[in-house]
Amino acid sequence: MIRSLRALDLAAVMRIWFDANAKAHDFVPEEYWQSHYQEVKELLPQAEVYVYEDAGSREILGFIGLTDSYIAGIFVKESARSRGIGKQLLDYGKGLKPELSLSVYQKNSRAVAFYEREQFAVQEESLDESTGEKEFVMRWER
């Protein structure tokens, strides 16, 4: 089930955010994610966030964060990956917006392949100033 973020979800969502970032971006020092943890925790409730909640256990297994038509991120708990949850969250976002864009680290080949498979196209290359890592800016439109 996909639904809007509730205040009680914040701890679970932040665990997923941190773990997913540290694992998927092993080329970025873990300290980077630690140093941004509190800022993200404060900003998240102000964003448009939808969580994927397991219907049986009620456990939060993933979420998507949107700012207008920009995907700030799709994060899925490690134990729940490769079960279609990320695609369901993305499809939910596509149902809400006529176009979407995002930035993804070029070294995160799994994410790049996922977005390409989901009809996102690379629009440009950029540099994330805070990490020094190259990114793709990708876009999808209905």
51-57 contacts, C-beta under 8 A, 24 or more apart: 51/2, 51/3, 51/4, 51/5, 51/9, 51/13, 52/1, 52/2, 52/76, 52/85, 52/88, 52/89, 53/1, 53/2, 53/3, 54/1, 55/1
H-helix or E-strand containing 80?
Answer: none
pLDDT in tens, 15-68: 999 999 888 888 988 888 998 999 999 988 888 999 999 999 999 999 999 999
pLDDT of residue 96: 96
pLDDT in tens, 70-87: 999 999 999 998 899 999
pLDDT of residue 47: 87
Task: State if pTM tops 0.75.
Answer: yes
| Cα separation, 16 vs 69, whole angstroms | 22
pLDDT of residue 29: 81
Q: Which domains does the chain have, with CATH numbers?
A: 2-141 (3.40.630.30)
pLDDT of residue 54: 95
pLDDT in tens, 131-141: 999 999 999 99
pLDDT of residue 108: 94
